[in-house]
Amino acid sequence: MHHDLAPTTHTAELLQIHEINAALAAGHRVTAGSASVPETVPGDAVLRYLEATGPPSYPYIYGHFSQPGIDDTMRVELHTAQLRAISHQLSLRSHIWGLLPSSVRPGGRKFS
């Protein structure tokens, strides 16, 4: 089954990325380990910012991580579970990443 995405999908994701980047710039910390980023990135590497690239209907989202005290970043593609973990750790509860089943509302409440 094919699902067409609303034209606002990319805009909503860009807004969520902006909110995450603002929280990170304000001093909040998320580590690669706490966001379940692949082991190619050390667990204590800190997320510095997110970047979106690609087509508006399905952007690729990358996290830029660096070790404490090092300016160079490692760029890693992030997936839905990792983006949800990052938003959760930053207390950005209104964020929705990925497609939810139509019977489930954000927050886990089901439609009757």
The pLDDT, as a whole number, for residue 39 is 85
Residue 7 predicted with pLDDT over 70: no
DSSP string, 21-81: HHHHHTT---BTTTTT--TTS-TTPEEEEEEEES-TTS-EEEEEEE-TT----EEEEE-HH
* Residue 35 CB-density burial (10 A; 0-12 exposed, 13-18 middle, 19+ buried): buried
The pLDDT tens digits for 47-65 are: 999 999 987 667 899 999 9
Per-residue pLDDT tens for 13-38? 888 999 999 999 999 999 999 999 98
d(CA 33, CA 39): 8
The mean of the pLDDT values for the chain is: 82
How does residue 111 score in pLDDT terms, banded at 50, 70 and 90? very low
**Contact call for residues 49 and 61 (beta carbons, < 8 A):** no
77 with 40: CB under 8 angstroms? Answer: no
